[in-house]
Amino acid sequence: MKVLALNGSPRPIGNTSNILNEVQDMFEREGVEMEIVHLYEYSFVNCNVCLTCEIRGDGRCADEDDGFNQLLDRMRAADAILLAAPTYARACPSVMQTFLERASLVFTKSDLGLSGKVGGAIAVCAHEGGSLVYDQLVGFMLSNGMLVCGSSPLPVIRALNSPQYEDDKAGMRGVRSLVEGMVSALMRLNGYA
């Protein structure tokens, strides 16, 4: 079983990246492989709603030069998707926003390639907007027919500079709860529970 985690932070070493490293350890202790993809390593072009993805119906974006289609294929191959992003101006950072816009259009207009996959979301915020980012990530997964795992408390972590995420005990408890829920769902869906 494999989880593909998408890091929507433009910062290579920040709270979101460090949280994902801890989450990777949590999954691997449970025997679940996790790969982290840093979206800041890509230069995604904005979606212009050309609808080529719908016309062709092959689950691909018309822009073949930025690694986007290959990333969609990796998402299709994974058993679960974990989306993580900090809060910038009360929303996802632009790299995550651009990715979600394009991916949502391709998946919903063509092959529904994420339908039935397990999903989870983590948001990080310094002051406000964390719940909006969390809702944005969860909304993407729900609109793609994914089985989204919740947690208690929600995995919305209050932190500005890393490693301040460690100080938000409730938020990190939510992250652990999310991982437990995703592992349980993966085990059940794969006939282990």
Write the pLDDT tens digit of every residue in 6-37.
999 999 899 999 999 999 999 999 999 999 99
pTM, to two decimals: 0.96
What pLDDT score does 41 carry? 96
Ranges of residues in the chain with a pLDDT under 70 are: 193
How many Cβ atoms are within 10 Å of 58's Cβ, its own excluded? 11
Residues near 37 by beta carbon (within 8 Å), at least 6 away in sequence = 4, 5, 6, 7, 71, 74
How many Cβ atoms are within 10 Å of 87's Cβ, its own excluded? 24
Assign residue 158 a region: left if phi > 0, alpha if psi is -120 to 50, beta otherwise?
A: beta
Superfamily of domain 2-189: Flavodoxin domain (3.40.50.360)
